[in-house]
Amino acid sequence: VQLQASGGGVVHSGGSLRLSCVASGYIFRINDISWYRQAPGKERELVARISRSATTIYGDSVKGRFTISRDDAKDSVYLQMDSLKPEDTAVYYCNADVMTSRNYVFNYWGQGTQVTVSS
């Protein structure tokens, strides 16, 4: 299973970006899908998570600005990022709990996509 993230780029403060992450490979079902980010010199932190039943949680710093969604028909997760701030600058990673059969669940990471917000 591979996770391919895309949609990063450079944007001015206050702007918007939409990240996408597509899973491919032998997938029976995808459970929780998450976006994490890691800024230079900082630990990786959870940005948002969405369950298969569409329950969502957000990191405190992004609540009210970011929206996570998923399309199970496309094995995809999205992160709509609005009102971006310079402190949102980081590499963003998607992460998923993927069932490859009824009995096995594995955790996978995507390769990361750079988001840079200029002031």
* Contact status, residue 80 vs residue 66, Cβ threshold 8 Å: yes
Q: Tens-digit pLDDT profile for the chain (119 aa)?
A: 999 999 999 999 999 999 999 999 999 999 999 999 999 999 999 999 999 999 999 999 999 999 999 999 999 999 999 999 999 999 999 999 999 988 999 999 999 999 999 99
9-12 and 113-118 strand pairing: parallel
69-75 contacts at long range (C-beta below 8 A, 24 or more positions apart) = 70/30, 70/33, 72/30, 74/22, 75/22, 75/23, 75/24, 75/27, 75/30
Please list the helix, strand and coil fractions of the chain in percent, rounded to the nearest 5, in that order. Answer: 5, 60, 35
Q: Which DSSP helix (H) or strand (E) runs through 97?
A: strand 90-99
pLDDT at 102: 87
